[in-house]
Structure 1
């Protein structure tokens, strides 16, 4: 998984850019975590509960995005997917169009933990 953290030249805010198949993780980090240490700690604690087997699966719902933590992987998705409101018009549904890649993304537990720790270091640096 390729990603890069940068500071916006105008606002100075931390930005996260990910490769296409994981690109939703960037806006999720910016919107739901930002530089909020408390949210980051809460997420790392939940991640530890799942990876240690104390909990099978956890859903953390944010304002715009949600994270599903399971022992197999982590999925980040747009909240509209959770309530079934994110249906494309039939004329836009095509094998060539990859809208799903923009609505959700999954990665391994260790990759996700590494992303969170790198983001924390970047936003505090």
Structure 2
């Protein structure tokens, strides 16, 4: 999973993720943005997951849902109307790459840390 962070024409930070992971970038850009407290709270949740204090965590934002467990992070656009608590069938093909993405929790944590450093 590759990503890059830029500042757009309106001076907003934008997270751009590689093909198949675009929803992660949209989630960081639209749901977290420059909110340093939200980043700190998210990193605390990830730490609790890693130390098995909690087993899963769910955040519903304005445009996306984030589901975390000790192994992975999933971002789902609310427009997809998928019940985030249900597993997607194995053969499910989501046509909009900007609406769903998943990655390992370690990769997600590193992306959040990099985002935190970028918005500084």
TM-score interval, smaller chain:
0.7 to 0.9
Aligned mates of 2:39, 2:81 — CA distance in 1: 22
Is residue 94–residue 100 contact of structure 2 (8 Å, CA) maintained in 1? Answer: no
Superposition deviation, residue 102 in structure 1: 2.7
5+ residue gaps, structure 2, are 84-90
TM-score by length of structure 2 reads 0.84
SS across alignment from 1:21: coil
Q: Which has the higher helix share?
A: 1
Please list every run of 5 or more consecutive structure 1 residues that lacks an aligned counterpart in the other structure.
Answer: 85-94
Deviation for aligned residue 1:82:
4.9
Q: 1:99 aligns with which of 90, 95, 107?
A: 95
Q: Residue in 2 aligned with 1:87?
A: none
Alpha-carbon contact 2:32-2:38 (below 8 Å) kept: yes
In structure 1, the partner of 2:16 is 17
Give the structure-1-normalised TM-score: 0.81
